[in-house]
Structure 1
């Protein structure tokens, strides 16, 4: 089968012919139909310090994908209630948990301290076939097509972050208009936010955010978030802020524009430590929450339910896709993502 492989330590990837995986006990074999590129994949392809510290090549990369079940390993539950079956269309949770640590046993699986990641710690989904634990498989309805199904990993990040706090009637600031930030704008609008403002340094991505439901977008190379407040007639600052960029400057400006008692969810990973004005955080009584991945599996239920009940939300989420390429043209896909002037890039493995 075809697979996009990190063959050895160092820069680069190779599309290779490798043996098809065989599902073991409790595992499911999936034929991959669509896959999405993520910033993590760029780190792996470039072989930066982070990739060198965690990867053990050779490894099939990729963790955002949608496909069809083609084989069930021994012990996989089947049947009408919570079962899986051959031919079923599915998305996949990319974090494989231990199941035995305190958080796992308490139902906080997304906080598992021993998580193994598809495409990082074990073979991933940039391939014709992939094998995963059946507990990581999320069955999709017919209303979720392959492209939407391939977005569920980053969409889950957006849903988890955006719904960390109540949004109905609130003024929401999103710093960072990458694909997750754009989808978070769509979620905030769907959840009933009063105003949604998105900031970034890319005019292309800000237009995607506007199309996804943002009232005002701010190119911070040219303007300031406080100007957006004035434009909207706001007088006290944002009630909820979602940080998606990992930029120190973005976090600083975000805090400056929060109202007293504001709630902040941080998803963007900074490249290095930076200082925060804790005096402002304390005196304004701001709540800060770190967000990683998706809540298993509450986030998946929410994402699926919202998409199934709203054509408009499906269209807004889908609008983040700007490039679609065959798997054989994976290098073009990586070049597009590396430019920073795209939304989501989807590879077709069918």
Structure 2
């Protein structure tokens, strides 16, 4: 089968013929239909410091996908050939304290699909049945392909109650924009999003944010005043990993404000802990999705009319992966899809 492989420990990716994956008694074999390009995939392609420390070559990359089940292991129940599925990309041990307590998203031994084991940028992918999400209601294939990052957005956005609240989102990448759409749909009063990319701020406006602010030109405090807020934002969603974004968010929160942090910084940085303490601000780190509560929430949100179509800005045949990756790395796009049916 064809697969997109990190074949060598150097920049680049290789489209290659590799063996079709075998499945065990508890596994599912899936014919991949579409995949989404993630920031993790961009790091692997660029072969940056993180990738050099995290990836063993050769490796089939990719973890955002939708596909059709073609075969199930003998112990698999409730999943059948022909089912349309996506996959939870965090594979857990099932034996640690958190796994046994039903908190699988907190497993200390998590292995990432397309990072620690061969992934979904291929014609077929194999997954444990416990990591397979069956789409029981109709869903657009492009949206189904990005359930993984959509889940990051939902997990972050729904960490705190949003009804009637004023929400600040720093970072208008695809996940930040999806989080903004979720916050609006979930009943937030105001949703302000910040970035330095006008193209991405324009995408955020399409999903209905109250205000999209280019912080290279306008400070957050000015946006706060434009919305008529007197005491600051109630909820913050930090999606950028930028030190200045986190510091500005803390400075613009109301007393008792709550911040969920998904953005992953490249290195340590100082924050105003005195402000956090005296303003009694709650900060919660987010990684991945709650298994599978977040997935249920995603499906229900889509059933309820949440529209993520504006977030998808490009689709390419998998053979044109270089152009697709360049688009995704431009900083001007939303989610980029690879089509594996052509």
Q: Identify the TM-score tier after normalising by the shorter chain.
A: over 0.9
Counterparts of 1:304 and 1:336 in 2: how far apart (Å)? 28
1:201 alignment partner, one of 196, 200, 215? 196
- The alpha carbon displacement at 1:148 in A equals 1.0
Spell out structure 1 runs of 4+ moving beyond 6 A: none
Counterparts of 1:153 and 1:191 in 2: how far apart (Å)? 19
1:219-234 equivalences in 2 (<5 Å): 219-234=214-229
Q: Which residue of 2 aligns with 1:48?
A: 48
Matched, 1:131 2:126: yes
Counterparts of 1:241 and 1:283 in 2: how far apart (Å)? 17
Structure 1: runs of 5 or more not aligned? 78-82
Q: Which residue of 2 aligns with 1:109?
A: 104
Q: Which residue of 2 aligns with 1:339?
A: 330
Matched, 1:3 2:6: no
Per the normalisation by structure 2, the TM-score is: 0.99
**Structure 2 SS opposite 1:319:** helix
Q: Which residue of 1 aligns with 2:162?
A: 167
- The alpha carbon displacement at 1:22 in A equals 1.6
Counterparts of 1:151 and 1:296 in 2: how far apart (Å)? 16
Counterparts of 2:38 and 2:170 in 1: how far apart (Å)? 18
- The alpha carbon displacement at 1:142 in A equals 4.3
1:57-100 per-position Cα deviation (integer Å, ceiling 9, x unaligned) = 111000000000001112111xxxxx000000001000000000
1:220-299 equivalences in 2 (<5 Å): 220-299=215-294
- The alpha carbon displacement at 1:309 in A equals 2.1
Counterparts of 1:231 and 1:54 in 2: how far apart (Å)? 44
- The alpha carbon displacement at 1:26 in A equals 0.4
Q: Which residue of 1 aligns with 2:13?
A: 13
Counterparts of 1:35 and 1:105 in 2: how far apart (Å)? 31
- The alpha carbon displacement at 1:8 in A equals 2.0
Q: Which residue of 2 aligns with 1:88?
A: 83
Matched, 1:71 2:65: no
1:185-211 per-position Cα deviation (integer Å, ceiling 9, x unaligned) = 000000000000000010000111111
1:217-236 per-position Cα deviation (integer Å, ceiling 9, x unaligned) = 11011101111111111100
- The alpha carbon displacement at 1:56 in A equals 1.1
Counterparts of 2:266 and 2:111 in 1: how far apart (Å)? 22
Counterparts of 1:151 and 1:288 in 2: how far apart (Å)? 26
Structure 2: runs of 5 or more not aligned? none
